[in-house]
Amino acid sequence: MKLETTNIDKSLLKEKNKIYHNIDKIREDFPILKQKVRGKTLVYLDNAATTQKPKIVIDAISNYYLTLNSNIHRGVHFLSEKATFEYEKARTKVKEFINALSASEIVFTRGATESINLAAFSYGLTYLKDGDEIIISTLEHHANIVPWQEVCRRTGAKLKVIPISNNGEILLEKYYELLNNKVKIVAVTQVSNALGVKTPIDEIIKKAKEIGAITLVDGSQAIPHLKIDVQSLGCDFYVFSGHKVYGPTGIGVLYGKADLLEKMPPYQTGGDMIRSVTFEKTIYNDIPMKFEAGTPNIEGAIALQKAIEYVKNLNIEEISEYEDALLRYCEEKLSDIPDLIIYGRTPCKAAVVSFDIKDIHPHDIGTILDSEGVAIRAGHHCTQPLMQRLGVSATARASFSFYNTFEEIDILYQALLKTIKLMK
């Protein structure tokens, strides 16, 4: 079932969507949702910034330190061997989750930001030269802008930007015009963190491949909402952060095709990324260890595995369907509020409503909502070029997860009416 309109029939969800039917039980898995904020029950609508963690993830971190704490890949004792096994099992779980060809194509990092930097500085600085071109889009998070700017500064390459429509949709015809034999890298988000707009990523990758360009997909906002298949996408790199998909902070993933990772130099050097070291020469380890210098976030990887298992158990298609219903319901409700403008109003979205209210600063909106126990994000969302394109300095952003409810959107609606009454 696909919900195409804003006229949400919740009875259909109740009959066919397991998440809707089991929402109370699901919310029990997230202890933080029970707490009071400013004397009100927490309504957490800042999921695009970070998702809350189910108890199974929290327990995995605790259990690691209670029973497994040891360094990996280096010890011959029980704890080290067990920790190594669990860490590498997590890598295999990520490989299966995004359908990579091999676990060796999964590099653990601190997050999507480090993953992009790794690709930019290892591949980009090695293979780009003066006159080459890199294409990104207007929708990008700063983490997918600044590294490429730095690569351009160091190599003499040029950064080109795909424009968007007033609704935040990528203008494909303008993208086609940017493509030429000078373009070596195309790096584009799959879902905008600021607007929730989905990009036509399949077409973007297809056209980039036709000219032989390397592609990187920022999947940070896509990974919790959509089924990801990197082989089907055909991208060369795919990045995401664990904390966006119900895992802990400080753990992220860089997927890279094995043939590319093999020829890329290390991003950092030190222990565990080497095969042998002498004062005359160092021989680097095989992938992916070549890119994992030092002691990694072992418990983070193990906990990420538990988060992935949790999401898979719920079923990503069911998650997407339920969140889409929340999104359309929220857009419908907020459209009734005078002087409220929704940005990125398009059918092709994922779980984000970005808005402002005439003559009320988004920070004021966020502050008053907080007094009602409602957590949203207010600001430029690390997308200042996008805000400039929209003609605003900031927006208020409500973003949803499968543990959110229609009743919470009603609370958001009433809190926004109170905001207008107080401020106007």
Q: Is residue 2 part of a domain?
A: no
Question: Do residues 386 and 406 share a domain?
Answer: yes
State how far the alpha carbon of 139 is from the alpha carbons of 187, 190, 218, 318, in Å.
11, 10, 11, 27
Given this model, what pLDDT does residue 8 score? Answer: 53
pLDDT of 52 strictly over 70: yes
The predicted-structure confidence for 323-333, as pLDDT tens digits, reads as follows: 999 999 999 99
Question: Do residues 236 and 375 share a domain?
Answer: no
Given this model, what pLDDT does residue 400 score? Answer: 98
Question: Do residues 33 and 78 share a domain?
Answer: no
391 band by pLDDT with thresholds 50, 70 and 90 = very high
Q: How does strand 340-343 pair with strand 36-37?
A: unpaired
Question: Do residues 247 and 114 share a domain?
Answer: yes
Question: Do residues 90 and 223 share a domain?
Answer: yes
State how far the alpha carbon of 43 is from the alpha carbons of 126, 298, 388, 413, in Å.
47, 31, 30, 12
The predicted-structure confidence for 101-152, as pLDDT tens digits, reads as follows: 999 999 999 999 999 999 999 999 999 999 999 999 999 999 999 999 999 9
Q: Is residue 3 part of a domain?
A: no
Q: Is residue 392 part of a domain?
A: yes
CATH of the domain at 124: 3.40.640.10
Specify the number of domains making up the chain: 2
Among 312, 346, 366, the domain-final residue is 312
State how far the alpha carbon of 42 is from the alpha carbons of 25, 39, 372, 375, in Å.
17, 9, 9, 8
Given this model, what pLDDT does residue 6 score? Answer: 41
Distance of alpha carbon 224 from alpha carbon 233, whole angstroms: 17
pLDDT of 10 strictly over 90: no
Strand order in the sheet with 214-218: 106-109, 252-256, 237-241, 214-218, 183-189, 133-137, 158-162
Q: Is residue 37 part of a domain?
A: yes
424 band by pLDDT with thresholds 50, 70 and 90 = confident
Q: Is residue 88 part of a domain?
A: yes
Question: Do residues 339 and 294 share a domain?
Answer: no
Q: Which domain holds residue 28?
A: 10-50+315-423
Among 260, 288, 312, the domain-final residue is 312
Q: Residues 6 or more apart from 42 whose CB is under 8 A from it?
A: 32, 33, 34, 35, 36, 373, 375
Distance of alpha carbon 141 from alpha carbon 73, whole angstroms: 35
Question: Do residues 90 and 155 share a domain?
Answer: yes
Q: Is residue 284 part of a domain?
A: yes
For the annotated catalytic residues, the residue numbers are 382
Q: 3-class secondary structure for 48-76?
A: CCCCCCCHHHHHHHHHHHHHHCCCCCCCC
Q: Residues 6 or more apart from 28 whose CB is under 8 A from it?
A: none
The predicted-structure confidence for 164-207, as pLDDT tens digits, reads as follows: 999 999 999 999 999 999 999 999 999 999 999 999 999 999 99
Q: Is residue 418 part of a domain?
A: yes
Read out DSSP for 242-281?
GGGGTS-TT-EEEEE-HHHHHHSPPSS-STTSEEEE-SS-
What are the phi and psi torsion angles at 327 (to 5°)?
-60, -50
Distance of alpha carbon 405 from alpha carbon 393, whole angstroms: 30
The predicted-structure confidence for 291-319, as pLDDT tens digits, reads as follows: 999 999 999 999 999 999 999 999 999 99
Give the whole-number percent of the chain exceeding pLDDT 70: 96
Average pLDDT of the chain? 95
Question: Do residues 168 and 286 share a domain?
Answer: yes
What six digits make up the tokens of 234?
A: 């055909």
Please count the CA atoms within 13 angstroms of the CA of 160 that sit on its side-chain side. Answer: 19
Question: Do residues 193 and 99 share a domain?
Answer: yes
Question: Do residues 292 and 332 share a domain?
Answer: no
1 band by pLDDT with thresholds 50, 70 and 90 = very low
Given this model, what pLDDT does residue 3 score? Answer: 37
Distance of alpha carbon 115 from alpha carbon 113, whole angstroms: 5
Distance of alpha carbon 135 from alpha carbon 208, whole angstroms: 10
Question: Do residues 181 and 62 share a domain?
Answer: yes
Task: Supply the pTM of this predicted model.
Answer: 0.96
Given this model, what pLDDT does residue 9 score? Answer: 56
State how far the alpha carbon of 324 is from the alpha carbons of 81, 251, 311, 407, in Å.
43, 27, 16, 15
Among 312, 339, 366, the domain-final residue is 312
Q: Is residue 4 part of a domain?
A: no
Question: Do residues 29 and 79 share a domain?
Answer: no
CATH of the domain at 362: 3.90.1150.10
